[in-house]
Amino acid sequence: MSHSVTAHGAGKLPRGLAVGLALAVLFSGALFSLATGGRSDVGLTDLWAPEGIAATVIYDTRAPRMFAATLLGLNLSLSGLILQAATRNPLASPAILGLNQGAALGLSLGLVLPLFSGVPLQVMALVGAFGAGVVTFAISGGFTGRMDSLRLVLGGVAVGAFSYAMVRFAFTLEDELARSVVRWTVGDITDIRWPAVRRLALWGLPGLFAALALSQRLNLMALGQASAQGLGADSRITLLLGTLIAAALTGVSVSVAGPIAFVGLVVPHLAKLLFGGDHRILVPVSALLGAALMLYADGVSKVLTAPVEAPVGVVVALIGAPWFLWQTVFARDLS
């Protein structure tokens, strides 16, 4: 299968080394996340043989949070990678295309409307994200033929603005929810415990395998619509499957931590920069790098404004928004 590798420019590092490096970064990120927190007396040295209060802090508070950050990073960066490949647009990501906001809308409808009270919240979030994605792609012409870069982003902004207005509307009606809405809308994992981690894993790991299964189709997308079709992969089906997987991954993430933006935008770029354009390697590497980024962001969020914690979503946005700006200024296919 060397053709797809050469078609995307050869990978810049051997595959084994690439994954090894990403793993090392991930591991140090995990240590950083575990070693920081509200109690500054529990640090790196307590990790090996935790006793007493340190054990409680690490097992019950920091460990679930660490795993949640890992899985969120995995989910969101894969979601972004799939969307970027399926739309062939470097600006695509769950937040820019409105998937995050759509998931938030589905979630708040599930919370507020008695009609949906029987439906699990993750499913509501998935449906919302998928709906938002389909609307955005329909606006930008994705299901008919050529997808327009500007339309894709503008459509996503419009869908996102609409969904957010609906979310705020719903929260205005529910006083109880309004209180936590500020932290939640920027993405917060402070209060995560083990059940939420299990939910993330339950959706994220199958999502990872689905993304691996889709990776060859994503490679074909890069060759252009006609070539992809010629090689037996209808780009519309790839787009639809990709949107479904991305919506599932985004949906469960939003239902646990709120809409965290920009992980899905930054990480795939970083991965492509380091490891070339083959999606069979990009999928696992993006997952690892996304997890690592979230772990570092989690650690920074605990340190940055100590003793008050900044939600991890804000930390990511402070890194990711300038990155997006950079992309729009220097992306080649826009002028």
Stretch that binds another protein, among 81-89, 227-235, 280-288, 311-319 (CB under 8 A): 311-319
Q: Is there a contact between 242 and 56 (Cβ–Cβ < 8 Å)?
A: no
Residues 6 or more apart whose CB falls under 8 angstroms from that of 5 comprise 11, 276, 278
CB of 226 to another protein, least distance (A): 22
d(CA 275, CA 266): 14
- Structural tokens at position 125: 């979030």
Name residue, tokens 């700006």.
325
Say how many residues touch another protein, by CB under 8 A. Answer: 44
CA atoms within 13 A on the CB side of 43: 4
Which of 24, 53, 55, 173 is in the footprint of another protein by CB under 8 A?
173
Which of 10, 165, 202, 231 is in the footprint of another protein by CB under 8 A?
165
**Position 306 contacts another protein (CB under 8 A):** no
Stretch that binds another protein, among 21-29, 31-39, 180-188, 220-228 (CB under 8 A): 180-188
**Position 149 contacts another protein (CB under 8 A):** yes
Name which of residues 127 to 146 contact another protein (CB under 8 A).
139
d(CA 248, CA 269): 21
CB of 46 to another protein, least distance (A): 28
Which of 32, 67, 203, 324 is in the footprint of another protein by CB under 8 A?
324
Q: Is there a contact between 256 and 68 (Cβ–Cβ < 8 Å)?
A: yes
CB of 317 to another protein, least distance (A): 4
Q: Is there a contact between 184 and 157 (Cβ–Cβ < 8 Å)?
A: no
Which of 15, 168, 236, 280 is in the footprint of another protein by CB under 8 A?
168
Cβ-count burial of 209 within 10 angstroms (0-12 exposed, 13-18 middle, 19+ buried)? exposed
Q: Which long-range contacts (CB under 8 A, 24 or more apart) does 88-93 make?
A: 88/147, 88/221, 88/222, 89/147, 89/149, 89/152, 90/269, 90/327, 90/331, 90/333, 91/149, 91/152, 91/153, 91/265, 91/324, 91/327, 91/328, 91/331, 92/152, 92/265, 93/261, 93/262, 93/264, 93/265
**Position 177 contacts another protein (CB under 8 A):** no
Nearest Cα residue to 235 out of 152, 144, 104 = 144
CB of 321 to another protein, least distance (A): 4
Stretch that binds another protein, among 9-17, 43-51, 160-168, 249-257 (CB under 8 A): 160-168
Which of 49, 115, 273, 329 is in the footprint of another protein by CB under 8 A?
329
Name which of residues 244 to 263 contact another protein (CB under 8 A).
261
- Structural tokens at position 191: 């209060």
**Position 39 contacts another protein (CB under 8 A):** no
CB of 256 to another protein, least distance (A): 18
**Position 330 contacts another protein (CB under 8 A):** yes
Interface with another protein (CB under 8 A)? 91, 139, 149-151, 153-155, 157-159, 161-162, 164-166, 168-169, 172-173, 179, 182-183, 186, 261, 305, 308, 310-311, 313-314, 317-318, 320-322, 324-325, 327-330, 334-335
